[in-house]
Structure 1
Amino acid sequence: MNVDSVTLGVFVGLFVVFVLLGFLASRFRRGDLSSLNEWGLGGRRFGALLVWFLLGADLFTAYTFIAVPSGYLAKGSLYWFAVPYVGTSFGVALLTMPRLWTVSRNRGYVTASDFIKERMNSRSLAVAVALTGIVAELPYIALQIVGLEAVLTVLLLGLNLAASAKEITEIALIIAFVVLAAYTITSGLRGAVLTGVFKDVLILLTVVVVIVVVPLTTGGFAHAFQQASLLSPTVNKALNKASGAIPYLDIPNSKLAAAFLSLAIGSSLALYLYPHAINGALSSQDRDKLKLGTSLLPIYGIGLAIIVLFGILVYSVPGALDLVLHFHNGALTVPALIAYTMPDWFVGIAFLGIFVGGLVPAAIMAIAVANLFVRNVIGEFAKLKPKTETALAKIISTVFKFVALAFVFVVPATYAIQLQLLGGVLVTQTLPAVFLPLYTNKLEPKSALAGWGLGVLSGILMELYANKFGPLISSVYNTPLGPIYIALLALAINLLVTGVGSGIAYGAGWRPSDKVKNEELLSLR
């Protein structure tokens, strides 16, 4: 393993640069950071390139570098669903985010719940959507923490500090999150943008170098796939046995097709319902820059496709594969692959890229949650002055990061991807309230609220039943068509209740509010 004091020195040195960028960002495009619009949305002054990096920071997270390759190693091609999911999610974004940005700029909205409250004329529905977004972000931030732990585990093993790994990891995580909280309070979304640029440069460098060097030095993809065909049954059963999961090799391929397709579709619908994705979109300087920045995001999708293949390349590196199996932890796949194939100095660069690849999204998510909690939960029951609102948001963003730590303990590390999928089950139930009103005002708010409630309840019950009320290792539910992503099943119930209820209400004489007119969604360029 090529991890030594040089690796540690590069890692720490780049982390110092990362921290300085986070704090200095408060001077970037200066604004009054006591205003929630400036602190939480960067004053809506980010151009196409910064929007691209900011939204990319939401995408290139521990989900990309840790969870997807880990799932691919443990359950095979099923987890290739992440590639089409990323490609189609940008289409969803282009259909929805420019409209939401337009009406938000017109009327001064900071969150999607601000829009729902006026468009649907329902405070209850706005609060329900806000709370759902807040809860859905918790497992997503926890996923970032799993990524941080994976990097630290391999780093400490290489430095022969395995005996004290648990204590050192806990201290390192606390220090990292304290630093993250400090620069988030100081710089707000500006800090996330600049550190996001730094993070993405490191990660893109890592992806390009690893995908070129490792195949050239280990016999190429032909050798890797050959080894995978020989060893995958053993690896698959070892990792799944440790987690209590069903090996994918025991599931007929015809059944996996339904799971693959539904996971891709459900995840693409969910991504731009997450508060952090909406928050990033609303920070754009104008509608056209948002469109351009979003249209460039498929470049990140290419990087994701490459990273998924790291779950195959690890088969051609015996030391890395042995390390993963020794700890029964698929989350170590990419850090182990890099540690056993790259020079010590480059390992430091790559590890820092993955490490801050968890910290930056965590900051963006915490800011988005704080905006929602202050504006659409507390703000609905207490009138807050603008400065008080921002000060409270800064505190909440800090608390939220540490609350998310609890979710790490409910999912086996190999199946960290389930943290993101669990959040998707919940946040997808806000689709009728967030996306559909961008195109129609014919949804009756009480019906939408009932649909949301039944969608969330059914989603939670199916998750519990699918996992036999134990650790979270699956987010699909067996149906006559095969395993289907629970988010889509719950959404079908949600849409049925919302649609039927709205039809009945319309027939009984209900008419929509005209507080936000349809033309306002497109009136500002």
Structure 2
Amino acid sequence: MATAVFLGFILFSLYLAIRSKKGSSKQDVHDFFCASGQFGACLVFFLTAGEIYSIGTMVGFPGGIYAKGPTYGVWFLGYILLAYPLGYFIGPRIWAAGKRYNAITLPDLFKGHYGSRALELLVGTTAILFLLPWGELQFTGLIAAFKGLGWNFPPTFLILIAAALAFTYIAISGVRSSAYIAVLKDILMVVAIVVTGAAVVSQAGISHVFHVASQHVSNTMNTRQLTFSMSTMLFQSLGFYMLPVGVQFFFTANSGDTIRRTQMVMPLYMLMYPFLVLASYYALSQHLHLASPNEAFFAAATRLLPEWLLGLVAAAASLSGLLVLAGLCLAIGPIVTRNLLPGMPESRQKRGAKFVIVVYLAISIVMTLLTPNLMLTLINTTLYGVTQFFPGVLVILLSLRVRAVAVALGILTGQVLAIILYTCQTDLGGFNLGLLCLVVNVAVMIGVNVAAKLGGVGALRHSSPHGRA
């Protein structure tokens, strides 16, 4: 029964992808990747939420609570809630900048504003490098979800099917497919999480679950943990919308006001998290022997829900991972064809991006199967790297006059320093190393820009409020 329900929702998602193509059969590159900026608040809301509340919501957060207790949730929830007000103000400005420079990708913004090919290449190349591990994260999350539900499919089979589905969604109508499927995915995910949490309350009781769980996890934070939580909340809220896929989704909106409306209601999704905590605590209270903390939510669902609801849970988890995978592909494809390959005409960019997407999926599959630990370790560096774009983006949004070379050296310094500190496991007393690197990034950018002006380096290209040297 569970398998039938699961397959039914997967088939329905393919129907939605086909339905999304209605009225846009001949898609140019802008429509394929950014829906020609036609989405209203509803589709932008679900598309953005589909990227934020992914399979990590059902795997990573409950697993963290299961392993580390409620202190884990402080920074996890805090940075998301802090990011939404920031998105309310910078989201519409990113959208406006995208319109101004006819942008599809994040590097397009840097190219348009700074007029620097070198900076465009730096942003495009490092964006792809830091995004590469995320494909494997989605595959690994899907494997963990199905294992937690007791479905012991061979990992290779699951990965190949997931990659094929993600590419199919993209090939049908690009970002429009993702937006339509995101509506189904979010409904299924919310239902799965709320139903599982409600089943915990009904069958075990809140007080019992919390009492037993409190004997296994700590409810207090020491100074180091508090420092980590506060610094991480600040750092990750700044980097929340610097992921290339998030910027690209802003470009799908039909107005800046549409983005403001979506940011105002986005916090409603946080109402899911108490139910995730209940599922995690239930797994603790029942002394379930899990192969990994990431199976906590699914272990609770398996124990408490009937077969047909497990099919719904599996569909929600699968679509969560597939949508993020599709979003990554939609971001990486045009970065290669528009920003890294010189002079490719727009008429060929969509076809070229599809080829890039196939290559990216193949690389992700190989890395998942051959070097899983390496890539999952590198995932921790993603936000360290992409958040270094924030100062450069802020310069664009505020139309400041800063030289491209200063921005480039700031980004490169921050990213290299982050990799060094992370690789060497440098102890900063709990202080988030990415935030330190961001401060160094800003200092280098300001220092180089001031030095260049004082030195009268006229040959260096710099930005103007209209993006020209």
TM-score by length of 1: 0.83
* Structure 1: stretches of 5+ with no match in the other structure: 1-5, 234-247, 467-476, 521-525
State the shift of 1:22 in Å: 2.2
Q: 1:386 aligns with which of 337, 346, 369?
A: 346
Offset of residue 315 of structure 1: 1.6
Q: Secondary structure at the match of 1:110?
A: coil
How far apart in 2 are the matches of 1:154 and 1:38? 38
The 8 Å contact of residues 98 and 109 in structure 2, kept in 1 or not, is answered as yes
Distance 1:24 1:173, change over 3 A: farther
| Residue 9 of structure 2: aligned partner | 14
Shift of 1:183: 2.5
| 1:211 alignment partner, SS class | helix
Are 1:374 and 1:389, in contact at CA under 8 Å, matched by a contact in 2?
yes
1:12-91 correspondence runs (5 A): 12-27=7-22, 29-30=23-24, 32-33=26-27, 35-80=28-73, 81-91=75-85
Letter in 1 for 2:251: L
1:204 aligns with 190
CA-CA distance at 1:154 after TM superposition: 3.0
Secondary structure in 1 matching 2:216: helix
Report how far residue 313 of structure 1 moved: 2.9
Is the 2:200–2:279 Cα contact (8 Å) retained in structure 1?
Answer: no
1:498 partnered with 2:445? yes
Q: In the aligned structure 1, how far is the partner of 2:239 from the partner of 2:185?
A: 24
Aligned to 2:89: 95
Report the 3-state secondary structure (helix = DSSP H, G, I; strand = E; otherwise coil) of the residue aligned with 2:430.
strand
Measured at CA, do residues 331 and 406 of structure 1 come closer, stay the same or move farther in structure 2, by a change above 3 Å?
farther
Question: How do 1:76-475 and structure 2 match up within 5 A?
Answer: 76-80=69-73, 81-155=75-149, 157=150, 162=152, 165=153, 168-220=154-206, 222-232=207-217, 253-304=222-273, 306-318=275-287, 321-322=288-289, 324=290, 327=291, 329-378=292-341, 381=342, 383-405=343-365, 408=368, 421-466=380-425
- Take 1:274 and 1:282, find their aligned partners in 2: how far apart are those partners? 13
Query: Are 2:428 and 1:488 aligned?
Result: no
The 2-side partners of 1:372 and 1:343 are apart by 44
CA shift digits 1:357-409 (9 cap, x unpaired)? 1001110121011121111111xx2x222221110011212322332345547
TM-aligned CA deviation for residue 68 of structure 1: 1.8
Compared CA separation, residues 173 and 132, structure 1 to 2 (3 A) = same
Number of aligned residues: 464
Q: Secondary structure at the match of 2:352?
A: helix
CA distance in 1, matches of 2:322, 2:53: 11
Cα gap change, 1:494 to 1:514, in 2 (>3 Å): closer
CA gap of 1:31–1:499, structure 2 versus 1, over 3 A, is farther
- What amino acid is the match of 2:114? M
Over 3 Å counting, the alpha-carbon distance change for 1:99 and 1:20 in structure 2 is same
1:449-475 alpha-carbon deviations (Å, 9 max, x no partner): 111111111111111111xxxxxxxxx
The answer on whether the counterparts of 2:400 and 2:464 sit within 8 Å (CA) in structure 1 is no
One-letter amino acid of the counterpart of residue 173, structure 1 = I
Query: Contact 2:410/2:443 (CA < 8 Å) preserved in 1?
Result: yes
Provide the rounded CA distance (Å) in 1 between the counterparts of 2:181 and 2:430. Answer: 39
Output the amino acid matched with 1:22.
Answer: A
In structure 1, give the amino acid aligned to 2:101.
Answer: R
State the Cα RMSD in Å: 2.5
Whether contact under 8 Å (1:141, 1:404) holds in the other structure is: yes
Q: Percent identical across equivalent pairs?
A: 22
Q: Distance in 2 between matches of 1:147 and 1:280?
A: 23
Letter in structure 2 aligned against 1:25: S
SS at match of 1:297: helix
- Indicate conservation of the 8 Å contact 1:100/1:438, yes or no: yes
Change (3 A) 1:426 1:411: farther
Secondary structure of the residue that 2:253 maps to in structure 1? coil
Structure 2 CA distance for aligned equivalents of residues 23 and 499 of structure 1: 49
In structure 2, what is the Cα distance between the partners aligned to 1:308 and 1:387?
49
Contact persistence 1:117–1:126 (CA under 8 A): yes
- Paired AA for residue 347 in structure 1: L
> After TM superposition, which residue ranges in structure 1, 4 or more long, deviate above 3 angstroms?
405-413, 418-421, 509-516
C-alpha contact (below 8 Å) 1:133/1:427 kept by paired residues: yes
Deviation by residue 1:147-174 (Cα, 9 ceiling, x = unmatched): 210122134x36xxx5xx4xx3321221
Q: Which amino acid aligns with 1:289?
A: T
Give the gaps of 5 or more residues in structure 2.
none
CA distance in structure 2 between the aligned counterparts of 1:85 and 1:22, rounded to whole angstroms: 32
Q: Distance between the aligned counterparts of 2:65 and 2:19, measured in 1?
A: 39
Q: Could you report, residue by residue, the CA deviation over 1:276-301 in whole angstroms, capped at 9, with x for unpaired residues?
A: 10111110011111211222211123
Calculate the TM-score normalised by the size of structure 2.
0.92
3-state SS of 2:431 partner: strand
Counterpart AA for 2:17: G
Distance 2:385 2:409 in 1: 15
1:516 Cα offset (Å): 4.5
User: Which amino acid is the alignment partner of residue 478 of structure 1?
Assistant: D
Distance (Å, rounded) in 1 between the aligned partners of 2:202 and 2:278? 15
SS at match of 1:273: coil
Give the whole-Å Cα distance in 2 for the aligned partners of 1:517 and 1:510: 21
For 2:45 and 2:373, the matched residues in 1 are separated by 32
How far apart are 1:139 and its partner, in Å? 2.3
Change (3 A) 1:70 1:514: closer
